[in-house]
Structures are given as C-alpha cells and as structure tokens.
Structure 1
Amino acid sequence: MAQFNDWCSTTDGKVGNHHRRVMTGQAAMLDTGVNATAAIVPGHYASEEHVARALARLGKPAAAALIQGKLPTTKQIRSGDLGEIYATEWIDAHSGYRAPIKRLRWKDHRNMAMRGEDVIAIQLDAQTQRLRFLKTEAKSRASLTTKVLADARAGLDKDGGLPSAHALSFISERLLGMGNPTLADAIDDALLKHGIPVQSVTHLLFVFSGNAPDALLTAALQGYPGPIIQWGIGLRVDGHASFVGAVYDKVIADGNKS
C-alpha cells in the first residue's frame, strides 16, 4: 500500500451530496512517501508471479531488468502512471471498493498512456448480491487546472456515466486469465444479464498535483448536474515533478541492489 497516512495530512469535506478529500504530503515526510510508493510501483507493472519466476530462473539482474523494461522513461507518462497507481492504491485502502486488476500491466508500450477508464473498482452489494462500480478518472499535473478537471469530467460522463462495456470485458478477460472465474462471471452478469443501473455507480475524480486542488475539486463537484454520487480526492505534493522522478529513481535503484 502507498501508506498515505504515514506521510500525508488529510482534510475531508462535503460538497452537497458529494465527498471531497485532500491529502497533503508533509515536507518532512516526503522521503517516507517516496519509499512507500517505490515499494508498490513494480507490482503495478508486472505480477509478483512473473517477477518471482524471472528471479528463480534467471537471477536478480534479470528480474530487475524485467521491471525496468516496463517503467516509462518520459516525465509525462511517469506522472500519469503514478496518478493512476495512487488512485488504485487509495481505492483499495480507503474506499470500500476493490480494483480487481492492475491495469498498467497490460500497456501496449511503456511510454504510451492507456485508453479508456483509468480504474474501475467493484463492491458486492450485501442486499442485492450484485456488483456496485466505482468509475475513476485519475489526473496528474504539476499545476492542476480547470481544463484538466473538465477533461476528467468528460471521461466520467461517457457511456451515460456507466463503466464502458469494453472496460468491463477487458477486466473480465484478465480475471479469467488470473484464475478468478467467479468475479469474472459476476462482472459478465452485470454487463450482459442484469444491466448496470445508475444507482449502482459512483464516480471518483482523483487528482495528484503540485498545487492545492481544494477549490478546483469543490468547483468540479458543485458543477456536476447528474444523479451519480461523486467523490473528489486530491493528493498534493510540493515539488510534484521532483517527487515523481525520485519515486522512479528509487524503484530502479532498489531493483539494482545486489
């Protein structure tokens, strides 16, 4: 886990019926944040089983090369990937939903952004025994702007605000390959048998930025006119670009340690 509580302060607030949370990296604890993040980044690019197999068969240099070969080398893609990683980690630790796959493992190329919804997380409704969905757009910018949030809103509002059939089919196929047919079937049932009502969907707008996201998130939530519950989560780190670079440098250094 990214251990946000170990290096961030947190403030929560309500915006109408919607929820807003802002986590702020504390200057004295940013090294803790770099270390905690670097520890979980490799697992978002390659499965633990793949790394362990490379380690057992080929040794540590090859296992390190496997990870390093999947890491993006451009600042922009590193930033975007880390925003998605943080969104996934926050969901799994704090939302009550679970992201069933780590999507970055299936990138077409390490220096390309993936298309489609950034993260779709799920939760089993105890009363209906059907799935609820958290549709997520993650944005990472050194300087967050209104336009960036408008782009995220456009992504959330696609497909009537529901998770897309393509994204759900992608997750279902990956789950089958990972040996989880029960969850894959539940997703297929939601998509192909029961349908997905708007009431079973929540939107998460997750931003990772160098400037304060509070006012921008509040305005974005206030401006949403639709029926879907909205969560706005911001992670602010001063020196955003340097922090991102330090995280990836640490991942590489850790992998190369003898």
Structure 2
Amino acid sequence: MAQFASWCTHCDTPVGAHYMRVLTGDASRLHFGIGATAAIVPDHYASEEHVARVLRMLGKPGAAALIEEKLPTTKAIRSGDLGEIYATEWIAANTVYQVPVKRLRWKDHRNMAMRGEDVIGIALDPATAQLSFLKTEAKSRANLTSRVLTEARAGLDKEGGLPSAHALSFISARLVELGNLPLADAIDNATLNVGIPPATVRHLLFTFSGNAPDGLLTDALRTYAGIYGQWSVGLRVDGHTAFVGAVYDKVIADAHYP
C-alpha cells in the first residue's frame, strides 16, 4: 500500500451531494512517501510471479533488469503512471471496490500512455452477484489547471458515463488469464447480457499535483450536473516533479541493491 496516512495529512469536505478529500504531503515526512511508493511501484509493472521466476533463473541482476526495463524513462509518463498508481492504491485502501488488474503491466511501450479509462474499481455483491463500478480518471501535473479537470470530466462522461465495454473486456480477458473466473464471468454477463445500470456506477477524479487542488476540485464538483455520484481526491506534494523523480530513482536503486 502507498501508506498515505504515514506521510500525508488529509481533509474531507462534502460538496453538495458529492465527496472531496485532499491529501497533502508533509514536507518532513516525504522521505517516507518516497520509500512507501517505491516499494509498490514494481508490482504495478510486473507481477510478483514474473519477478520471482526471473530471480530464480537469472538472479538479482536479471530481476533488476526486468523491473528497470518496464519503468518509463520520460518525466511526463512517469508522472502520469504514478498518478494512476496512486489512484489504484487509494481505491484499494479506502473503498469497497477492488482494482483486480494492474493494467500498467500490459503497456505497449514503457514510454507510451495507455488509452481508455485510467482505472476501474469493481465491487461484487456475493449475495446478489450484482457488480458496481468506480469509473476513474487520474491526472498528474506539477501545476494542476481547470483545463486538465475539463479533460478528466470529458473522459468520465464518455460512454454515457458508464465504463466502456472495451475497458471491461480487457479486464475480463486478464482475469481469465489470472484464473479469477467468477469475476471475469460476472463482468462478461454485465457487458454482454444484462447491461450496466447507471445506478451501479460512481465516478472518481483523482489528481496528483504540486499545487493545491482544493478550489479546482470544488468548482468541478459544483458545476457537475450529471446523474452519477462523484468522488474527488487530490494529492498535493510540493516539489511534485522532484518527488516523482526520487520515487523512480529509488525503485531502480532498490532493484539493484545486493
């Protein structure tokens, strides 16, 4: 887990019928944030099983090379990936939804952004087999602006606000490969048979930025006129660009540590 509570303060604010949380990195504890984040980043790019197989076959240098070859090298892609990783980790730690597939493992190229919804949280009611979804857009910028939130809003509103069939098909196919057949079957039934009722969908806008997101997120929630419940979570870290660089530097250093 990203252990946000160990290096961030937070403030929860209702905005109309919606919810907003702002996390602020404590300058005196950012080294904890760098360490906690670096510890989870590799698993978002390569499965533990894959790393373990390479470790057994080629030793620590081979496993380190596998991880390093998966990591993006450009500042922009690192920033965007880390925003998606933080959104995934926040959902897992703070909501009833799970993110069953870490999609960065299937990037076409490490320095390319993936298309489609950034993250989709899924909850399965064991009693009714009813699925509910958390459609998520994650934005990471050193300087967050209203234009960036407008782009995120457009992404959330695509497909009538529902998760796209393409994104859910991708998740289902990966779940079959991973052996999670009950959840794969439930997703296929929802997308190919019974449909997804809007009442089972909620939206999350997650931002990771160097400037304060409070006012921007509040304005975006106040102007939203759609039918879906909205969550907005903003993570602020002063020195955003340096922080991102420090995280990836530590991932590489830890991978090569004897």
Q: One fold, TM greater than 0.5?
A: yes
Residue 181 of structure 2 is matched in structure 1 by 181
Distance 2:23 2:127 in 1: 32
Distance 1:202 1:119 in 2: 12
Residue 167 of structure 2 is matched in structure 1 by 167
State the Cα distance separating 1:127 from its structure 2 match: 6.1
After superposition, residues 8-87 of structure 1 pair within 5 angstroms as 8-87=8-87
Q: What is the CA deviation profile of residues 154-211 of structure 1, one whole-angstrom value per residue up to 9, with x for unaligned ones?
A: 0000000000000000000000001111110011011112110110000000000000
Instruction: Determine helix, strand or coil for the equivalent of 2:250.
Output: helix
Distance 1:145 1:212 in 2: 10
Instruction: Determine helix, strand or coil for the equivalent of 1:76.
Output: helix
Distance 2:175 2:128 in 1: 22
Distance 2:234 2:103 in 1: 21
Runs of 4+ displaced beyond 6 Å: none
C-alpha RMSD over aligned residues: 0.8
Relative to the length of structure 1, the TM-score reads 0.99
Q: What is the CA deviation profile of residues 26-64 of structure 1, one whole-angstrom value per residue up to 9, with x for unaligned ones?
A: 000000000000000000000000000000011000000
Give the counterpart letter for 2:61 in structure 1.
P
Q: What is the CA deviation profile of residues 117-149 of structure 1, one whole-angstrom value per residue up to 9, with x for unaligned ones?
A: 000010123664310000000000000000000
Q: What is the CA deviation profile of residues 219-254 of structure 1, one whole-angstrom value per residue up to 9, with x for unaligned ones?
A: 111111011000000000000000000000000000
Give the counterpart letter for 1:97 in structure 2.
Y
Unaligned runs of 5+ in 1: none
Give the counterpart letter for 2:42 in structure 1.
P
Unaligned runs of 5+ in 2: none
Q: How many residues are treated as equivalent by the alignment? A: 258
Give the counterpart letter for 2:14 in structure 1.
K
Distance 1:219 1:150 in 2: 11
Instruction: Determine helix, strand or coil for the equivalent of 1:69.
Output: helix
Distance 1:249 1:139 in 2: 21
Distance 1:125 1:155 in 2: 27
Distance 1:83 1:63 in 2: 25
Distance 2:142 2:125 in 1: 37
Distance 1:141 1:124 in 2: 33
Give the counterpart letter for 2:219 in structure 1.
A
Give the counterpart letter for 2:237 in structure 1.
V
Percent of paired sites with the same residue = 70
After superposition, residues 1-258 of structure 1 pair within 5 angstroms as 1-125=1-125, 128-258=128-258
Distance 2:126 2:62 in 1: 45
Distance 2:183 2:96 in 1: 16
Distance 2:38 2:119 in 1: 20
Give the counterpart letter for 1:179 in structure 2.
G
Instruction: Determine helix, strand or coil for the equivalent of 1:114.
Output: coil
Relative to the length of structure 2, the TM-score reads 0.99
